[in-house]
Amino acid sequence: MTMVQHISPAQLAKPTNPPRAGLPASLYGRLFIALTAVLLVAPLALYPMFLMTLLCFALFACAFNLLLGYGGLLSFGHAVYFGMAAYVTGHAAKVWGLGPELSVLLGALTGAGLGLAFGALAIRRQGIYFSMITLALAQMAFFFCLQATFTHGEDGIQAIPRGHLFGLIDLSDDRVLYYVVLAVFLAGLLGIFRIIHSPFGQVLKAIRENEPRAISLGYNAQRYKLAVFVLSSTIAGVAGGMKALVFQLATLTDVHWTMSGEVVLMTLVGGMGTVFGPIVGAAVIVTMQNYLAHLGAWVTVVQGAIFVACVLLFREGIVGVIARHLRWRL
Amino acid sequence: MIPFLDIPMQALFGQLLLGLINGSFYALLSLGLAVIFGLLNIINFTHGAQYMLGAFVAWMLLNYLGIGYWWALLLAPLIVGASGVVIERLLISRLYKLDHIYGLLLTFGIALIMQGLLRNQYGASGMPYAIPPELAGGQRLSFMFLPNYRAWVIVASVIVCLGTWLLIERTRLGAYLRAATENPGLTQAFGINVPLLVTLTYGFGVGLAALAGVLAAPIYSVNPNMGADIIIVVFAVVVIGGMGSILGAIASGFALGLVEGLTKVFYPEASTTVIFVIMAIVLLVKPAGLFGRTA
pLDDT, tens digit, 9 for 90 and up, residues B110-134: 999 999 999 888 888 888 888 888 8
Interface touch B102/A128, C-beta < 8 Å: no
CA–CA distance, B257 with B27 (Å, rounded to integer)? 9
pLDDT exceeds 70 at position A2 = no
Average pLDDT, chain B: 87
Q: Are strands B145-147 and A164-165 parallel, antiparallel or unpaired?
A: unpaired
Question: What's the whole-number mean pLDDT along residues B136-157?
Answer: 85
Closest to B21 measured CA to CA, from B244, B293, B217: B217
pLDDT exceeds 70 at position A8 = no
Rounded-to-10 torsion of CA B187, B192, B195, B201: -90
Least confident of A22-36, A195-209, A210-224, B94-108: A22-36
pLDDT top residue among A276 and A13: A276
> Which pLDDT does position B243 carry in this prediction?
76
CA–CA distance, A79 with A153 (Å, rounded to integer)? 17
Q: Which of B112, B229, B238 sits opposite A303 (nearest CB)?
A: B112
Q: Is residue A75 part of a domain?
A: yes
Q: What angle do CA B141, B142, B145 make, to 5 degrees?
A: 40
> Which pLDDT does position A175 carry in this prediction?
84
Interface touch B235/A297, C-beta < 8 Å: no
Find chain A residues with C-beta within 8 A of B120's C-beta: 296-298, 301
Average pLDDT, chain A: 86
pLDDT bucket at A46, cuts 50 / 70 / 90: confident
pLDDT top residue among B152 and B135: B152
Q: Looking at chain B from residue 239 to 278, which residues have their Cβ under 8 Å from any Cβ of chain A?
A: 239, 244, 269, 272-273, 276-277
Q: DSSP readout, A120-177?
A: HHHTTS-HHHHHHHHHHHHHHHHHHHHH-TTTTGGG-B-S----EETTTEE--SHHHH
State the alpha helices, DSSP H only, in chain A: 9-13, 27-41, 48-65, 79-94, 100-122, 127-147, 174-196, 199-209, 211-216, 221-247, 257-270, 277-292, 298-313, 317-326
Decide if B213 contacts B58 (C-beta within 8 A).
yes
Domain enclosing residue A98, as ranges: 46-255
Q: Looking at chain B from residue 172 to 211, which residues have their Cβ under 8 Å from any Cβ of chain A?
A: 181-184
pLDDT exceeds 80 at position A27 = no
Amino acid identity of B240? I
CA nearest A117 in B: which residue? B280
pLDDT bucket at A98, cuts 50 / 70 / 90: confident
Find chain A residues with C-beta within 8 A of B113's C-beta: 300-301, 304-305, 308
> Which pLDDT does position A64 carry in this prediction?
95
pLDDT bucket at A4, cuts 50 / 70 / 90: very low
> Which pLDDT does position A10 carry in this prediction?
45
pLDDT exceeds 90 at position A112 = yes
Q: What is the CATH number of domain B14-120+144-285?
A: 1.10.3470
Burial of A4 (0-12, 13-18, 19+ CB in 10 A): middle
CA nearest A73 in B: which residue? B101
Q: Which of A125, A137, A311 sits opposite B109 (nearest CB)?
A: A311
CA–CA distance, A207 with B280 (Å, rounded to integer)? 25
> Which pLDDT does position A24 carry in this prediction?
54
pLDDT bucket at A15, cuts 50 / 70 / 90: very low
Tens-place pLDDT, residues A62-73? 999 999 989 889
Q: Is the dihedral of CA B127, B132, B135, B137 positive or negative?
A: positive
Nearest-CA distance from B181 to chain A in Å? Answer: 6
Which residues does B263 contact at the CB level (< 8 Å), separation at least 6? B270, B271, B274
Interface touch A308/B116, C-beta < 8 Å: no
CA nearest A258 in B: which residue? B112
Nearest-CA distance from A125 to chain B in Å? Answer: 7
Domains contained in chain A, number = 1
CA–CA distance, B65 with B59 (Å, rounded to integer)? 10
Question: What's the whole-number mean pLDDT along residues B245-260?
Answer: 89
Strand partners, B138: B147
Closest to A190 measured CA to CA, from A276, A101, A79, A124: A276
Q: Is residue A25 part of a domain?
A: no
Find chain B residues with C-beta within 8 A of A315's C-beta: 98, 102
Question: What's the whole-number mean pLDDT along residues B70-74?
Answer: 91
pLDDT bucket at A25, cuts 50 / 70 / 90: low
Least confident of A100-114, A153-167, A210-224, B59-73: A153-167
Tens-place pLDDT, residues B166-188? 998 899 998 998 888 888 889 88
**What distances in angstroms separate CA A121 from CA A222, A287, B259, B277, one per listed residue?**
11, 35, 22, 11
Percent of chain A at pLDDT > 90 equals 45
Q: DSSP readout, B38-70?
A: HHH----TTHHHHHHHHHHHHHHHHHHH---HH
Best of A128, A298, A302 to disrupt the B interface (most B CBs within 10 Å) is: A128
Q: Are strands A169-170 and B145-147 parallel, antiparallel or unpaired?
A: unpaired
Question: What's the whole-number mean pLDDT along residues B29-51?
Answer: 90
Find chain B residues with C-beta within 8 A of A261's C-beta: 108, 112
Domain ranges of chain B: 14-120+144-285
Question: What's the whole-number mean pLDDT along residues A178-184?
Answer: 92
Q: Is residue A1 part of a domain?
A: no
pLDDT top residue among A13 and A265: A265
Rounded-to-10 torsion of CA B241, B242, B243, B246: -40
Interchain contact B123–A (C-beta under 8 A): no
pLDDT exceeds 50 at position B295 = no
Least confident of A201-215, B125-139, B280-294: B280-294
